[in-house]
Structure 1
């Protein structure tokens, strides 16, 4: 009898331990499920945070978020004057013109380059067409060449992202600033390098500089 009672006690203890482990494992299993597998429920905030961290590890470029740079009241006045000019001269819809100018100002602050110069490059390269593609494969507003800047393209999420105005202007501005540094601030040579015409006769720098000066006058007058 004593032996039988002992066996019963041990079986009961084993059963309780198993149930306790199961109770701990169920929440863990639930956490392991992706939000898509739990129909009708909100994504688990813990999983969302983990996924967010993984996204950062796999090329999410926080620097590409131009909204991180706040525009001041003086910048807002610049947005108005420059976007009005672009709407009139290049027949660009108001919302698009304002968005492009905002991104140019934000990236000008981040990369220490005049936003009017960024806009001048856009004017010559794509005439403010967000989905422009050249015969040699340059893409977007600033006509960035994917094959020549693979590292930068990878950071923004791939070639298709060059059609996103914010990411295109971010990438193009970085390239422009690097060429300015490479040529010790020589704007003409930097523009030739940007256009892929360094060492040749090209009217590209003259066009950009002329528009650049004109946009600076718009800013001052505005």
Structure 2
């Protein structure tokens, strides 16, 4: 089915329209694009507008979809499905959708069939055997190549690591399996650079779509951390950990 969506524009567009229906265009003065939602608490303050505010306006998603489609050479309708799923998942798990998309982009280049030598699979390169408990809720380990399931599980893992370490930088280092290592081989820097570009795109700014070089295979590891998570939330990040406040809701 996924292969059909990636190769057949008509089928992909029908599914894309179902996942992310576009409103009718009405002639009106252009409005400034809505900012990227950085804090879930902001969306909670307005119950009636929470979903719309967190998912971002349709124009914002169109900008992000178009940019990712060109940058990673993915069919526009297929890219639209991935972006829509990332935004919906972000709303559900309370994580910045642009951070999720940045991880997807660096991990797999938006290829839902990607698999690393270590066995990490899908868009967010998740180790299904290690995180079988989370996959049990979305269809089991065989769902690792299902884009919706993979994005949800990857987002949950990332959120858990960010919460546990107290910063996005620390969460990314743990996500790539380098928690106990001195360096993550530049993985976190690549994700955060892509994250910053996506925030610019979401604001309507012009950002080059030059495709980055692929990551070395050795950086994709994904191991379960040795220390079990505690129920208490991680300590609040300091002001220097600015990325954490941008990407993760107040927990």
Instruction: Say whether the fold is shared (TM-score over 0.5).
Output: yes
Q: TM-score, normalised by structure 1?
A: 0.65
User: Take 1:104 and 1:110, find their aligned partners in 2: how far apart are those partners?
Assistant: 10
Q: TM-score, normalised by structure 2?
A: 0.58
User: Take 2:174 and 2:76, find their aligned partners in 1: how far apart are those partners?
Assistant: 32
- Cα displacement (A) at 1:157: 1.2
Write out per-residue CA displacement over residues 61-115 of structure 1, whole angstroms, 9 at most, x where no aligned residue: xxxxx99x96579432222110100111111111110001001111111111111
Look up the match of 1:122. 104
1:214 matched to 2:197? yes
Long gaps (5+) in structure 1: 1-65
Query: Residue 76 of structure 2: which of 83, 91, 94 is its match?
Result: 94
Larger relative helix fraction: 1
The equivalences for 1:82-161 within 5 A come to 82-161=64-143
Query: Residue 178 of structure 1: which of 150, 160, 177 is its match?
Result: 160
Task: Give the number of the structure whose alpha-carbon radius of gyration is greater.
Answer: 1
Structure 1 segments, 4+ long, off by >6 Å, are: none
Higher relative contact order (CA 8 A, sep 6+): 2
Distance 1:131 1:192, change over 3 A: same
Contact 1:71–1:106 (CA under 8 A) maintained in structure 2: no
Write out per-residue CA displacement over residues 152-191 of structure 1, whole angstroms, 9 at most, x where no aligned residue: 111111222121111111111111111111112x111100
Long gaps (5+) in structure 2: 1-18, 21-49, 206-251
Count of aligned residue pairs for this structure pair: 155
| RMSD of aligned alpha carbons | 2.0
Contact 1:142–1:169 (CA under 8 A) maintained in structure 2: yes
